Each structure stands twice: as structure tokens, then as C-alpha cells.
Amino acid sequence: MTMQGANTSSPAIFVLLGFSARPWLEPMLFVVVLGFYVMSLLGNGLIVLVSCVDVHLHTPMYFFLTNLSLLDLSFTTSIVPQLLANLWGPQKTISYVGCVVQFYLSHWLGATECVLLAAMSYDRYAAVCRPLHYTVIMRPRLCLSLALASWLGGLSTSLVGSTLTLLLPLCGHNRIDHFFCEMPLIMRLACVDTSPNELEMYLASFLFVVLPLGLILVSYGHIAGAVARMRSAEGRRKALGTCSSHLTVVTLFYGAIIFMYLQPARSSSHEQGKFVALFYTVATPALNPLIYTLRNKDVKKALGHLVLKDSCGVIGRRGARAAL
């Protein structure tokens, strides 16, 4: 089919079925999703703010954490507003352009996070296994290169995979059994053979999901060996504390992905998959800031300094106005 034929067969709107099979659940989900979204905006926004303002946090670890927070902010914002609109009202639709933007962004940001988590695991490997050479290994240029590689790598696979999906003729099919537009779901609507698209998706999944996960496992294998060789209990506790937050985030992120894409193709599994997708698109971005701040003294101290500074500023301004 020609490009023109593919374009003319594209629907003007898509229907996102989402959780419409359980209408009684939608008001409750609206409240929960809105609460997590606000938590995500506040938590990730605060981490970006304190990491930029506090000079003590100008380190490789917090540089990558800032990138992770920006990713979570972008990812959840690309999906949640539309989800809230569909949960609130009877209409479950999204425009063609809105759907295209959503699956381009979700593909880009999801792939970027996979690579970024691998870069963060290398940073933790250097901190635990090569502590004396840490500042030499994790020099600013390398950190910037790893972050750029994550963002640009995710963008490249999104441009290729999403564009190939966009060119598929849909022949008027517009009902998506999910709460957001995702590339594999758009492919299911196509009325032609999608084998080339599936091949590209499997290759991209290997490069941007399996390979980064393998690098993370290798990094933590070396970290586990280094911790086992430590004679000091205090040293082992400090090393584990250094890695625990990142390891928790990796477990949540990859655990949800593995459950989503390795489950059997049954309708019940698909329904469960919607709730797992809800977890990693809504809850995980809100939980990541808590995971990194609850056990991180540096971030808590920086937040305390920021609050104290603002409080002193407000008191000083009030005092100056009173004196006038």
C-alpha cells in the first residue's frame, strides 16, 4: 500500500477503552492517579531543584538522578493528563495527533530510562569497586556523554520504530484496549502484515531493554563481589546503602516491564497488564523520589537547607517591611 493510502486510512480519533469495562472503578482510579501525579510533580521537581541549587549535590550520582527525575516528569506528563480526562468523563477518545505524540514520547522516554539506569549502575560500580579512582573515572565529560547517549539513543529508536508504526495502514480501526497509545497496540490495529515492524521492535527491545539490563546485572555482580571481600561491616553497610536506592528503582522498573511483555496472551493477563502499566506509568515516577530521599542523608540535608533558606528569606522580607 502506498504512503497516501496509509495516511487516508488513518482515523481522526482513537478510542482508548482503558478501564471502561469497570466503570465503577474509574472515580476511585481518578483520585489515586491524580494523587500520584501530584506526588510525582512535587517529588521529582524538588530533586531537580535541590540538585541544581545545592553545590554539595553537584556529583555524578545526583547528575544522573536529576536526569532520571526529568525523565519521570516527562514520561508521566505525556500519559497522565489524558488518562485523567478519560477517567473523569464519559468520552474515552484521543485525537490522532495526540495519540501519535503520545506513542513517540512514551517510546523515547521508556528507552532512555533503560539506558540511563545502566549508566547509573556503572556509576555505582565505580563508587564501590574503584573508590580511589572514582573522580577520575566519572569525570564530568563522561557523565555528560552517558546522559546524552541515553537521551539520543532513546530518541533514535523512537524515531525509527514509531515512524514505521505510523506508516501502517489501519483501515479505519481505532479502538485501543488500553489507557494510552503504545506502539505494539497501534501495530495490532494494522490491516497488513506487521512482521517487519515486529522484527524492528524485537531488535530495539534487545538493544534498549535486554542489553542495558545485562550491563546492570554485570555491574551489580562486580559490586556484590567487592562487598563480599570487604572486611569491615561498616564498609559493607555503606556500600549497600550507596546502591540500595538505585537497585530498588531498577527492580520496580524492570519488574513491571518483564511482567508486561513476558506474560501469556490471554484476556485476563491483558487486564492485569493494564494495572501493571498503571503502576509503572503513574506510581513508579512518584515513588522514585521517595526511594532516593528517604534513605539519602545528602538529599534530606539539601532539602532542609532549601526550606530553611526560604524561611529565613520570608522572615527577613517581613522584618524589612515592618521596619519601613
State how many domains the chain has.
1
What pLDDT score was predicted for residue 318?
Answer: 53
Domain assignment present for residue 181? The answer is: yes
- CATH number of the domain that 224 lies in? 1.20.1070.10
More confident residue, 236 or 156: 156
- pTM given for the model: 0.87
4 part of a folded domain? no
Residue 240: per-residue pLDDT: 81
Which amino acid, residue 310?
A: D
Residue 322 is assigned to a structural domain of this protein: no
pLDDT in tens, 22-81: 888 899 999 999 999 999 999 999 889 888 888 878 889 999 999 999 999 999 999 999
Q: Is residue 6 part of a domain?
A: no
The answer to whether residue 311 scores a pLDDT higher than 90 is no
Domain-located, residue 317: no
Q: What is the extent of the structural domain holding 251? A: 12-311
Band of pLDDT at residue 3, cut at 50, 70 and 90: very low
Give per-residue pLDDT as tens, 96-119: 899 999 989 999 999 999 999 999
Residue 89 domain-assigned (yes or no): yes
Look at the chain and count its residues: 324
